[in-house]
Amino acid sequence: MSIEIKGHVERGFEAVADAFAENFETTDELGAGFALVRDGQSLVDIHAGWADRKRSSPWTADTIVPVFSTGKAITALVMAWLVDRGRIDYATRVSAVWEAFGANGKDRLTLAEALSHQSGVPGISEEMDPSDWFDRETMERRVAEAEPLWAPGDGSGYHPITFGVIADAIARRVDEKGRTVGAILKEEIAGPRGLDFMIGVPESEHRRAAEHMLPPKPPFLGAANPAKAAAFLKPWSSPGRRGTAVWRSAELPAANGHGTAGALAALMGPFACQGQLLGEAFVGAETIAQALREQTSGQDRVLPFDLSFASGVMINRDSGHFGPEPRAVGHYGFGGSCAFADPVRGVSGSYVMNRQREVLVGDERAIRLIDAAYRCLDAK
């Protein structure tokens, strides 16, 4: 199949466009974008395919798409911004700013531990309505009152949605204006720089959003346990019953960020460039060093992988999920999207798409593009 690739490719990075085309030729890719940024400068920003399953709306430079858990990395950036401004510290106990959260033995959990999926609340075990996720106060109360499924701070158990509830509750309590993660992103970070990434999409922008197609089967989670059940397997484990429009408009900092590949790659820049965003000072290098410090590693209780987490991002180690650099960090989203940052080479990038696959981490389409990008970088 011949696919028309649009966008920008710096000389010497043509192999990335070739790998992008290969995804369309050898997989069931529908519509997608990929971007690569080095030291604040765009090297690659390309897109192709269709924004809808009927193949009637071409994917354009203005098409935004939900990236699901990949957005956790951007929530981590918002939290780093709050830390850098002295509103909170990674060593601060969550209960010090959100007293109710300390119930049932969660009182000693720190911000860094919360952002590295160590709270013991990967989901809600007690029955609830899936639409409750759209009620901020209700969900904060449920998470605060929850009894942890393991000792808080004792290793990770991936938090698909509650990660965002916890981060947002902290942000609203420490931000001097009481803003949500989505509002801080819009007003302080992405908005002023014209970066097209949102947590909570205004209804006026819904027309730009690509339709996402669910994978043919659920991802493999391994042997069942209470943590996996709460995180993924309960009828209420994910937001529902309100429709796509309400879901797009809601602020779910762990799960429903929407944007372009170029914006996502740029927003990962501070993790690659000691706090610089688009070549300008954004947060301090020491803050970024703290954000990227490993908080836990080992077999995750929810995902069937041995993982290493910093404060809101995964650390590559030798996985190859974010390229060859062990110190690279990033995040994948349900279905295949990916964002990464390499603090050694000063490079960040992202892959976004609308045809999801039953992949939790390490989608072959993203890895093909990242590997091609590194081959080009190493050839320079």
Instruction: Please state, in angstroms and rounded to a whole number, the distance separating the CA atoms of residues 149 and 87.
Output: 29
Report yes or no: 81 and 281 within 8 Å, Cβ to Cβ.
no
Report yes or no: 50 and 57 within 8 Å, Cβ to Cβ.
yes
In this structure, which amino acid lies at residue 283?
A: V
- How would you class 207 by CB atoms within 10 Å of its CB: exposed for 0-12, middle for 13-18, buried for 19 or more? exposed
Residues near 302 by Cβ (< 8 Å), separated by ≥ 6?
Answer: 117, 122, 156, 157, 158, 159, 160, 221, 227, 228, 231, 232
Report yes or no: 82 and 314 within 8 Å, Cβ to Cβ.
no
Report yes or no: 46 and 17 within 8 Å, Cβ to Cβ.
yes
The rounded Cα 170 to chain-centroid distance in angstroms is 18
In this structure, which amino acid lies at residue 228?
A: K
Tokens of 222: 């391994």
Which residues participate in catalysis according to the annotation?
69
Nearest to residue 337, comparing CAs of 3, 64, 38?
Answer: 64
Give residue 133's region: left, alpha or beta (phi > 0; psi -120 to 50). Answer: alpha
Instruction: Please state, in angstroms and rounded to a whole number, the distance separating the CA atoms of residues 264 and 11.
Output: 22
